[in-house]
Amino acid sequence: MNREEIKKILPHREPMLLVDEVVLEDGKSHGKYLVRGDEFFLQGHFPGNPVVPGVIQCEMLAQSACVLLIGRAEGMTPLYTGLNNVKFRGQVKPGDLFETQCELVRSRGRFYFAKGSGFVNGRLCVAAEFSFALVEAE
């Protein structure tokens, strides 16, 4: 699915929509985001050596995972409730195609638990377990 289709599921909009496309397959989401280099989070992080912040990589994972809630997330706001066992293994820089693989591990009511990994050129850059809640949009 493309950005317009993703916007039907997620409430995120530019500049915080951090997934360009997602493929859902076998209960997993496979997302992609091309780091253009002009993103707000690269301004000052770091001058002359821009690197996508780890917290932004985690946000990219979460957005990719939330697409798995198609049919349940529309009209809701997914809010992080936890990040666990986060490991950063490589840098993500302008020009990189950041690819995610995420899956929902379990759910309890409106709470969802997931795990995901982010890669550049097949190289693991981030892995994390995370949770989020779906809350009604105000």
Note the pLDDT of residue 137.
Answer: 81
For the chain, count helices (H), then strands (E): 2, 6
Please give the Cα distance from 40 to 50 (Å, whole number).
11
Catalytic residue among 3, 7, 32, 45: 45
List the one residue out of 59, 56, 66, 60 whose CA is nearest residue 9.
66
Residue 88 has a pLDDT of: 98
Domain range summary for the chain, segments of one domain joined by +: 3-136
CATH classification number, 3-136, choose in 3.90.550.10, 3.90.920.10, 3.10.129.10, 1.25.40.10 = 3.10.129.10
Q: Is 45 a catalytic residue?
A: yes
Helix, strand, coil percent values for the chain (each to nearest 5): 15, 45, 40
pTM as predicted: 0.96
pLDDT of residue 93: 98
Which ranges of the chain have pLDDT less than 50?
Answer: none
pLDDT tens track for 8-18? 999 999 999 99
pLDDT of residue 61: 98
Distance CA 52, CA 43 (A): 10
- Can you give the pLDDT at residue 75? 87
